[in-house]
Amino acid sequence: MTDAVSARERILARVRAAVANAPEAPAVARDYRTSHTADDPAAVLGLLHENLADYRAHVHRTAPADLAALVAERLAERGARSIAVPPGLPEAWLAATDAVRRPDEPRLTPYELDGVDAVVTGCALAIAETGTIVLDGGPGQGRRALTLVPDLHVCVVLAPEQVVASVPLALPRLDPGRPLTWISGPSATSDIELDRVEGVHGPRTLEVILVTGD
Amino acid sequence: MGMPSFPKAAHDAVGDTTLRANLRHATHTIRDKRARAVAELDDWAALREAGKRIKDETLRRLDTYLVRLEAAVTAAGGTVHWAADAAEANRIVAALVRATGETEVVKVKSMATQEIRLNEHLEAEGIAAYETDLAELIVQLGEDRPSHILVPAIHRNRGEIRDIFKEKMGSWGRPAPEGLSDTPAELAEAARLHLREKFLRAKVGISGANFMVAETGTLVVVESEGNGRMCLTLPETLISVVGIEKVVPTWRDLEVFLQTLPRSSTAERMNPYTSMWTGTADEDGPRAFHLVLLDNGRTDALADEVGRQALRCIRCSACLNVCPVYERAGGHAYGSVYPGPIGAILTPQLRGTSSEIDASLPYASSLCGACYEVCPVAIDIPEVLVHLRERVAEEGGSGHRLEKAAIKAASWILDRPNVLAAGERLASATRKVHPKRLPGPGARQWSDHRDLPELPAEPFRDWWRKNRS
Ligand code: SF4
């Protein structure tokens, strides 16, 4: 690959020549806000709820004891008969549903995933100001394809520990070495006369369950 | 191939009333929503300044950050390739696809691959490249060219889209359903079914990236539909072609751009999906990842002390949506994948100004300043336009061919009272932010000691109509 090496050297040499006489760039000022929200867990959770709903996610709140029943209800309501199950998902979350479980071990093929109605996952964290859920492939979340191919995604957020107010507060808590997926509402397009339509390729329906209190 | 120059192409576009109505509806809708999304953040000015400075620092030490990025991507299991120009990038990508034994690839919308005309090159090599963004699909099926950075099919209305789907889907794969109506929901569903077949069997995906983090080797793709996630996740091999200016130094820098990009672009607090990946991951996503770093004229732009600020662009398209010239002329008139105000300054720097269209682009503006005001990385587009006009005029010296092209573009705007009036009105509305001095090195001697006349609160034309007719 001598060619590739020379392209690398050529480009770097051009870059160096191009900026050789440029003045130093002024230091980056970070005097923007770390958060735009009051430091109050209830207010942050309320904002998360509101912003998720504004982007057409269906948001529910529950206490830990009622989680399994709510998961089962959401799946039944949407007519989901089969669910993809990521490794490490707490067994208790699915205790009340009679949907067929399709564990992702060994990995389901894309076609098998396409035949599954729903997926239930946890998350790495949620961002209130933007109405965003972040998945990092950790236990109970699984690989990225799991939350992409099935048409219904039921996502469980544990409050307050998994909820942050803002993007600047989220990044330090995430590991860039993991594949990350940020989800803000269900898949959507505005390509046709800017009319918003939900569900093009990702899940058409996003159900978010905020688990609070004990 | 001879692209028509801006005035010729714009002249034809303005005669197309459907196109003008589609564009007007679209740009005004996004424009109003954007203003609301931005108003939610009371530190917008500080975020904008930080974004500008992060990019300036990146550009000043671009060599360092590129080498750092390369090391981080390699350490995470990716392979980095360098391409000095379009031909080199196309060769690299085609060879990578051939090595997989595949003859089909699925693509995420990417300006960089459009810029190098990758699809055409792959086709010549016997490789079919499927665009998977809904708007790109509309453009590809319609054998058309994109006309907007963000909404490439902004020039098509629902009836036209239905006709394209009915006529063309069948020859590329699954045909459109019988009796397809023109409601956006049904059209999107037809696209979902048509493309799902391709996603599920795809072995090679091709993408660009919105950001590359030098510190960690992380690539970021921001999207809405999930087609990006499909292409980045399901195939076994992923090839990303990314302009060298897309690098940012640190992981933390994303906190600025992930706040400013979605709000400036689709006017959302956050776009529906953002994917971040660092090299390859066990058991999740592609097993092979190739990053192709593309120069293709960017180092020429970097060498221009006024023009290099165009490389700060994060392709949000806010400047297109406020531009009175873009709104009337449409994206095709700019003869480049980069239309609108950013296209008018980026294209002549990437391609040079030797062709008639490229020489006319710096004149395809009324210099109203609205583009500068909305730009989330504070690119002073009017300043660069004036600077490039000087360059074109200097180069035009002997044959006058370039000067003629330029004068034609300027007079196209001066001849169109509507465009000019819109420019003036916006200029009045934004006059508080106008520079007090003329931009450009030539102007400095003159304006260093004089203030520019302030713009009147009301354009003369409006005043005349109200008071004298
Ligand atoms: S020049 Fe500024 S406003 Fe225009 S697309 Fe680029 S970043 Fe956005």
Residue contact A22–B60, C-beta within 8 A: yes
B281 backbone φψ class: left, alpha, beta (φ>0; ψ -120 to 50): beta
- Sheet with B128-131, strands from edge to edge, namely B79-83, B288-294, B237-243, B204-207, B104-107, B128-131
Regarding the beta carbon of B324 and ligand 1, being less than 6 Å apart is answered no
Structural domains of chain B, count: 2
Q: Which of these, B351, B310, B360, lies nearest to B116 by C-alpha position?
A: B351
Residue B104: strand pairing partners: B128
Domain check: are B282 and B427 in the same one? no
Average pLDDT taken over every residue of chain A = 94
Examine residue B315 and state whether it is found in any structural domain, yes or no. no
CA A64/CA A211 separation, integer angstroms: 6
Best B48, B183, B269 member to test A by mutation, with max A CBs in 10 Å, is B269
> B130 in a domain, yes or no?
yes
Shortest CA distance to B148 belongs to which of B272, B346, B24, B330? B330
Q: Determine the pLDDT at residue B335.
A: 79
Report the alpha-carbon distance of residue B326 to residue A20 in Å, rounded. Answer: 36
Residue B393, in any domain of the structure? no
Q: What is the pLDDT of residue B404?
A: 67
Inter-chain touch B60–A194, beta carbons under 8 Å: no
Query: Is residue B311 assigned to a domain?
Result: no
Query: Which CATH fold topology does A7-212 show?
Result: Rossmann fold (3.40.50)
Give dist(CA A51, CA A46) in Å, integer: 9
Under a CB-based contact definition with an 8 Å cutoff, are residues B107 and B152 in contact? no
**pLDDT score of A175:** 98
Q: What is the CA radius of gyration of chain B?
A: 22
pLDDT of residue B423: 53
How does residue A4 score in pLDDT terms, banded at 50, 70 and 90? Answer: low
The pTM assigned to this predicted structure is 0.89
Chain A residue nearest residue B259, CA to CA: A167
**Domain end position, chosen among B253, B280, B296:** B296
Query: SS3 for B448?
Result: coil
What is the complex's ipTM, to 2 decimals? 0.95
Instruction: Give me the mean pLDDT over the A56-78 stretch.
Output: 97
Does B231 map to a domain?
Answer: yes
The domains of chain A are located at 7-212
Inside any domain, residue B301: no
Q: How far apart are CA A81 and CA B17, in angstroms?
A: 50
**Amino acid in position A128:** A
User: Across the interface, do A27 and B43 touch by the CB < 8 Å criterion?
Assistant: no
- Check pocket membership of B427 for ligand 1, CB cut-off 6 A: no
Name the helix (H) or strand (E) containing A125: strand A125-127
Q: Which of B53, B192, B207, B213 to mutate to test the interface with A (most CBs of A within 10 A)?
A: B192
Given the structure tokens 């509402």, which residue do they identify? Answer: A185
| Listed residues B249, B269, B296: the one ending a domain | B296
Within 8 A of A107 by CB-CB distance, chain B residues are: 283
> pLDDT per residue over A179-214, tens digit each?
999 999 888 887 777 777 887 888 999 999 999 976
Q: Which domain holds residue B276?
A: 41-296
Q: For the CA atoms of B138, B143, B147, B150, what is the dihedral angle to 10 degrees?
A: 40
Q: Which residues of A touch B50 (CB under 8 A)?
A: 28-32
In tens, the pLDDT along A143-186 reads 999 999 999 999 999 999 999 999 999 999 999 999 999 999 88
Classified as helix, coil or strand, B388 is: helix
From residue B153, alpha-carbon distances to B29, B111, B134, B135, B186 in Å are 15, 14, 9, 5, 17
pLDDT in tens, B125-144: 999 999 998 888 888 888 88
Residue B3 CA to residue B17 CA, distance in Å, equals 22
Q: What is the CATH number of the domain that holds B217?
A: 3.40.50.10420
Which pLDDT does position B442 carry in this prediction?
39
Residue of B nearest to A6 (CA): B82
Domain boundary among B296, B315, B347: B296
Taking contacts as CB-CB distances below 8 angstroms, the residues of chain A near B59 are 19, 25
State the sign of the Cα–Cα–Cα–Cα dihedral B22, B26, B27, B32. Answer: positive
Is the CB of A7 less than 8 angstroms away from the CB of B88? yes
How distant, in Å, are the alpha carbons of A166, A198, B37, B41, B352 from that of A55?
17, 10, 13, 18, 43
Encoded amino acid at B90, one letter: N
Q: Looking at the domain assignment, is residue B371 inside a domain?
A: no
Q: Closest Cα to residue B114, out of B288, B296, B267, B376?
A: B296
Helical (H) or strand (E) element with A212: none
Whole-number pLDDT of residue B461: 54
Atom 8 in ligand 1: residue holding the nearest Cα: B316
Domain assignment of residue B398, yes or no? no
Residue minimizing CA distance to atom 2 of ligand 1: B375
What does the DSSP assignment read for A67-88? HHHHHHHHHHHTT--EEEE-TT
Cα–chain-centroid distance for residue A40?
23
**Which neighbouring-strand residues pair with B240?**
B207, B291
Give pLDDT, residue B40: 93
Burial category of A54 from C-beta neighbours within 10 Å (exposed 0-12, middle 13-18, buried 19 and up): middle
pLDDT < 70 positions in chain B: 1-4, 7, 11-16, 149, 396-404, 406-407, 410, 414, 417-469
Q: Which of A3, A30, A32, A153 is best to mutate for the B interface (most B CBs within 10 A)?
A: A32
pLDDT, residue B1, reads: 37
pLDDT exceeds cutoff 70 at A1: no
pLDDT of residue A5: 61
Classify residue B189 by its DSSP letter: H
Q: How far does the CA of residue A63 sit from the closest CA of chain B (Å)?
A: 27
Task: For residue A137, give both structure tokens.
Answer: 């492939």
> Counting every residue, how long is chain A?
214
DSSP 3-state of B349: helix
pLDDT level of residue A127 (50, 70, 90 thresholds): very high
